[in-house]
Amino acid sequence: MILLVVSILQSTCISNTSISYPTPTTQVHVPLSYATTRIDAIIDYILALYLDEGIFYEWLEDTPPDLRIGSTPCIYDVYDAYRVLNMLDRTNVLDWTNCTKFLRSLVNIDPVSPSYYGLVNFSITAPPTVISCDVAIELFPELSLESLIFEQEIAEYIVQAQTPDGGFRLRPDNSDPPDMITTWSALRAMYTLNRLSDIDTSNAIDFIMSCYSADGGFSNVPYYDSNPDVVPLGLFCLEYLNRSDLVRVTKTTNYLLQYWDNNTGHVVDGTLVNTERFVWSLKTLGTLNQININKTLEWVLACQNTRNGLFLPIPNYDYDSERLEWCRAAVHILDLCDRMDLLEEPITLIEHPVYTTPQWYIDYINEHFGTQTNTGNGIYPVWPNIDIAALLINGLPFIGIASIISLPGVYIILSNRKKRNERKEQRERRQKTKGK
Model pLDDT for residues 235-287, shown as the tens digit of each residue: 999 999 999 999 999 999 999 999 999 999 999 999 999 999 999 999 999 99
Residue-wise pLDDT tens digits, 71-81: 999 999 999 99
Q: Residue ranges of the domains in the chain? A: 5-435
The CA distance from 59 to 320, in Å, is 9
Distance CA 416, CA 168 (A): 26
In CATH terms, is domain 5-435 a member of 1.50.10.20? Answer: yes
Phi first, then psi, for residue 121 (nearest 5°) are -65, 150
Q: At what angle do helices 272-285 and 249-257 cross, to 10 degrees?
A: 160
Question: Comparing C-alpha atoms, which of 310, 309, 315 is closest to residue 296?
Answer: 315
Is the pLDDT reported for residue 5 higher than 60? no
CA atoms within 13 A on the CB side of 253: 13
- Using an 8 Å Cβ cutoff, are 337 and 279 in contact? yes
Pairwise CA distance, residues 73 & 22, whole Å: 13
pLDDT of 110? 77
Task: Using DSSP, state whether 375 is helix, strand or coil.
Answer: strand
Q: What is the pLDDT of residues 219-237, one digit of tens each?
A: 999 989 999 999 999 999 9
> 260-265, long-range: CB within 8 Å, 24+ apart, which pairs?
260/291, 262/291, 262/292, 262/295, 263/292, 263/295, 264/295, 264/299, 265/291, 265/292, 265/293, 265/294, 265/295, 265/296, 265/297, 265/298, 265/299
In the chain, what percentage of residues exceed pLDDT 70? Answer: 77
Angle, CA 364 vertex, CA 362 and CA 366 arms, to 5°: 65
Residue 3 has pLDDT above 60, yes or no: no
Which three-class secondary structure state does DSSP give residue 197? helix
pLDDT band at 65 (very low <50, low <70, confident <90, very high): very high
Least confident residue range of 108-112, 174-178, 185-189: 108-112
pLDDT value at position 276? 98
In the chain, the largest separation of any two C-alpha atoms, in whole Å, equals 73
**Pairing of β 346-349 and β 34-37:** antiparallel
Within 10 angstroms of residue 331's Cβ, the number of other Cβ atoms is 25
- Please state at what angle helix 272-285 crosses helix 293-302, rounded to 10 degrees: 150
CA–CA gap between residue 403 and residue 400 (Å, rounded): 5
